[in-house]
Structures are given as structure tokens and as C-alpha cells.
Amino acid sequence: MSRLRLNQEYRNKIANRMRVHLEQEDTIEKQNYDNLKADQIDINDNAWKIAKGIVRRHYTEDDVDKAYYLQNKFENVSTIAKDSCFHFHYLGTKEDRDYDGNPITKEDTIEGHFDFRLNGSIDTESNSSYSRDDRGYGYALFRDELKAQDNCNPDILIEQDGKESNPHLTKYKDANNKYLGNDDKGYGKEWNEKYQLDLIGRDYCRDRSIACSEQEFNFLISWKQAKGQFVVAHSKWINSILDQMKEIKLGLKGYKYLDEALELATELGLNIDEAEIIRTNSTGLTIYNPKNLADRIKGMKNKREKTREEKIAERMAYMQAEKSVN
């Protein structure tokens, strides 16, 4: 039997399969990303608890009620609104120079900006444009959800890092942002509504810096840094995959026959059947493999409504599981 020549279509299919395989590998980079991702809800909730305490010491619940009373009573009063963005400060010290150029330490107001929205600011030690893009946090946090969408790419900022703005980057950023939403819909709306407070004053958060303790301030700084570390972990994981894919594509380009490419995949821990590559679509998904296609079709029919007894049994099992947890 003659050997099948490796054309560009087959190269793309195999490369796509290998990319999926590499993303599923349990590497150190992926473990670090997964572990930090699991901490994100807790670190945001803990930081929010601190921020809420600071704000409510300054703007008490009684103050808020009075402000709403006046705003509802008079049409020309607009003094209160919900916000997730704060400026906090404390009286600390900073290094300076005296008139003779000698180093001195003097009192100074230390101020920081803390934004709890999904696309709020983060702190990283990385100089990459990806790490400086605040939307990268939402992409990293909701990566699985974005990945499941046909027109989204949660890794686009990493893949395009260092490149100038271009239609490919804009296309996927717009699609990602539209899916995640902001204050209007989606995960963004759900996230932003969770972390917001009634605040008295002007609309712009910089006009109402609120005093806090040095300990509270440092805790919130560490929260921003923890978010940044998560974004960097996402970047390191995906960059490790991109580096591997660069070598893989270079190798595939040099091969003449399909069996050579399949041997490479096998050596990398991915077994691909020759017939599978021939039958798959251009994305490398085996939707046209007869068995897979048949299973998909069968799953579309013979769907029946659960009986009352089945629903009760499921509810009892759920309640029993709840008791065992508590």
C-alpha cells in the first residue's frame, strides 16, 4: 500500500489535535494555573470584605439611607450611586532628599486604586502587553467558558503578545468581551454586581479617596498582586504550549508523508489513527468519524421526561449528600 503524502490540510488537522493534547497534559505550568484559578473566588471575597469594611466606616449604612432619602425627595440631588472602584490611602512614610541631597524619610500619604470589576486593574511584575491588559484576568478566569465558544479565544492576548493591533486580535478580543459582558449582561454583569457598594459623592472614584489602615492597604495590594500572579500563570502555561507548537509545526512542515507525522504524535503521547485524520474536518475534530457521528445522532432522539419517582429519588439523593457534607 502506497504511503499517503502529507498535504497542508493534514498538517493543520494534526497540529490542531496536538494543540488540544498539549492543553490537556498535566504539566507543572498547567497545575500552577489550575491551583491559582481555584483560589480566585476566595481571594476576591476576602479582599472585598476588607474594602467593604473600609467604605462602611466612612459611609455608614445610616449615611447611605439619608443620602437615598434626599436623592429620592429632590430631583436636583444626585449624590449616591453603586460602585466597585475605590481609592484608599493611609499616612505613611517615603524616602526623599534634603536640601543637601542626603536621604531622609518623611511622612506622606500613600494612596492606591482598587477596582473589583472583572476587568479591574491588576499588578504584575511582567512587562508583557498581555499582563498589562486588565481584560486578561477575565480571559484567564473564564477560559473554559470562552474556549467552548466557536468565535472566542481566551488565549488571544498571549498569542498576540508583542504584536501591533491587527484585525485578528481585534476580532477575538471583541468576541471575548461580548461573550463575557460587562455591566449589561453575562459573567461580567454577575461579577460586577457581586462586588459593588452604595457610595456617596461624585461619580469618579478618584474624587473620594477613603482613609484606611496600613495593614488594610497592604492586604489589598497583595490581593492585586495575587490576581496578577494568576494572569502570569495563564501566560506561562500557554506560552509553554506555543513554544512546543512552534517546534511541532516546523517538524510537520519538513515531513513528506502522513505516517511520519503520526509517528511524531505517537512519540508525544498522542495516538492518532490515519483514517481519523482523513475523515475529520479541517479543525481536526472527529465529528465525521462514523462512530462519533452515530453517537451524536443517537443522542438527539429518544429523550424522555423523567418520571415523578425518578425526580423524587434524585432529590432525596441530593438532600442526603447535603447532610453528609454538613
Q: What is the mean pLDDT of the chain?
A: 85
Of 165, 135, 164, give the one whose Cα is nearest residue 152: 135
Give the pLDDT confidence score for residue 123 in this predicted structure. 80
Which is more confidently placed, 156 or 78? 156
pLDDT above 50: residue 302: no
Range 293-318 average pLDDT? 54
Question: What digits encode the pLDDT tens for the residues 110-151?
Answer: 999 999 999 998 886 544 445 456 899 999 999 999 999 989
**pTM tops 0.85:** no
Give the pLDDT confidence score for residue 146 in this predicted structure. 96
Percent of the chain with pLDDT over 70: 80
How long, in residues, is the chain? 326
Q: State the residue for C-alpha cell 472583572.
A: 118
Strand partners, 90: 110
Question: What digits encode the pLDDT tens for the residues 23-71?
Answer: 999 999 999 999 999 999 999 999 999 999 999 999 999 999 999 999 9
Question: What digits encode the pLDDT tens for the residues 247-300?
Answer: 999 999 999 999 999 999 999 999 988 888 887 655 544 444 444 444 543 454
**Alpha carbon distance 59, 80 (integer Å):** 11
Where residue 302 falls (left for φ over 0; alpha for ψ -120 to 50; beta otherwise) is left
Question: Which residues of the chain form beta strands (DSSP E)?
Answer: 80-83, 85-97, 103-115, 197-200, 210-211
Of 93, 53, 80, give the one whose Cα is nearest residue 220: 53
Give the pLDDT confidence score for residue 159 in this predicted structure. 96
pLDDT above 70: residue 98: yes
